[in-house]
Structure 1
Amino acid sequence: MTQLVARACGPEAAQGSGFSDADGNPLSWVGDTLVDQDGRTAAVLRDGVVDFIRSENYSASFGYQWNKTRAVVARDGQMQRVHFAEMDLRTGFHERDLSGLRCLEIGAGLGDDTSYLLARGIGSVTAVDLSESIFRAARVIDDPRVRFVRADASRLPFPASSFDLVVCHRMMMHTPHPAATLARAARMVRPGGLLFAHSYHRSSYFLGSAKYKYRWLTTRLPRPLLWNTLRLAGPVLRWGTVRLTKQFGQKGADFAHRWSPWVIQGPHMTAGLDRRTMLARELQVSFDALTPRFDLPMYADDFVDLVEGLGFSIERLERRPWFPLWAVARKKEFADEHA
């Protein structure tokens, strides 16, 4: 048990548990339980995960999705190669020296980005997710540089300014209040540290996609029913999209984008994948588009204003209307951590 607690504490163990309550007061380990200064239970160590969550929540669709996914990036060489290339494009971390950096990853899921950060030489990663998928990530990834935490992004159990790098990839738009979620994450970055932020784009291209026509229904369907329907119909829907595109060019592709619930990944995301892995990936992406309780994209200007307003200087930005939004930004030395 001592070894499990030490791993859960991570590199911060020398200074205490590395966790704090909402007021910034440190939490302490009593056996396998984290307690506050009044002795009340804040979290328990369960299956290698520090678990702050006690009830079902809006992340349930992600837990179901991840636990149904066949191809786990941490163990699937094809998926890993494609995912790492995508992350290099978005973050540019392959061009930076990440050694020694303390990273907080919010929305870790099965640990796809965790594996990427480890491969790029990060010093340590605290991988956080609200869903139960974090338990599977803890089983898949065995690396002493990682600690796994199940917690709500709106109530992160860490002291402010305690990380050199915070990664918020594919998660903030799935929370009830994306701007507040990012603000909370930004508080975790030390002055001079880096933030990677990502959001769906509130552009006419993305708002015209099929998922926004069907989400009123798909968010209400039983998840097993929707998963199996997509799994069975996916190959046919994919064939239809490919046929439309071949016959009608861009008009056919635009029609499928607006009406087909099956999301086809671009060549840069599927090159070298066998058919089974490609369909598994597209099933995951299609299910992910149709099921989250919250799907709250941002306008590009609002996204930029938010990041800069939190005291960051943007060093890398994507805001073209047919791409999601993402930015790598550095926290100014004088930034107010309580912003």
Structure 2
Amino acid sequence: MLAVAVAGCSPQPAPHWGGATDAPSGAAPATSAAAPAPSGSAPAEPFAVGVRQLDLARDDRALPVTLWYPATGDAGGTPRTGVRAAAGRFPVVVFSHGLTGTPQDYAAVLTRWAAAGFVVAAPRFPKTSGTATQPDVFDVLNQPADVSFVLTEVLTLDGRDGDPLAGRLATDRVAAAGHSAGGITTLGLFTLARDERLDAGIVLAGSALGVGTTFSGAAAPQLFVHGELDEVVSYASGKAAYDQVPWPKAMLSLPDGDHGRSLLRSGDPAFEVVVDTTTDFLRWTLYGDPDARRRLPDGAGRGGVASFDDRL
């Protein structure tokens, strides 16, 4: 079932999303409402974006990581290598790609998050990326542990003398996000392989296949994004997983949205709504920005391209 569900996740001609089935039952009892970061303000102006690579490995699993981060210099333009990080401490978002994808397939979204004041760490998984010799869909179930390992390694950079990100990471404000098979990976980090460091999650057209819906640990707000015309992951399967989340949550539904092409490519009418909604969700959950929280419903409804189920 897992192989059938995510078989259509090739990033060509654009990133696709993976995983489709009815979500397992058995959600954890609801906990008290999650408290986002202490009330504060996210950066009001965008940053320039820097980019660098980390060569990591968990045992025999190579996990090269692309890091996008707020940088010095003028905002806009192409992310640059070798540029100094901007002043401040920035929350961390770890992002999981879809089957046969790579982090670079998602640069249009991830660089926007970095420009808004987040350090984004995106590993390339050894057996499900577009560079894998023989992609193995079942290896998705090993990826939550990969993400936790990558998160540990990235957070240590904050205290590493001489590292460009030393003193720049808000190590107590962390979220996970994922698309396609990466959505399954992300849900796994809040269920079977709960990483208690995570304060929030974003699931882009994911499902609970293989990782279940037994959410555990402290409440962590979740944002789901799903196209109602998704040809790989049925909208119903994503909604079923969403319904089982016992914590503060919201779901951005796109009536004309497919499996990702209309959502992750700039120029599509839905793209700006998806980017702005996910960015304001991160601003609220990781910076504690009340203005970002207030913007969410109106921003999600802008242009009539989406509906927003708001239970945050």
TM surpasses 0.5:
no
More helix by share: 1
When normalised by structure 2's length, the TM-score is: 0.31
Structure with greater contact order relative to length (CA < 8 Å, sep ≥ 6): 2
When normalised by structure 1's length, the TM-score is: 0.29
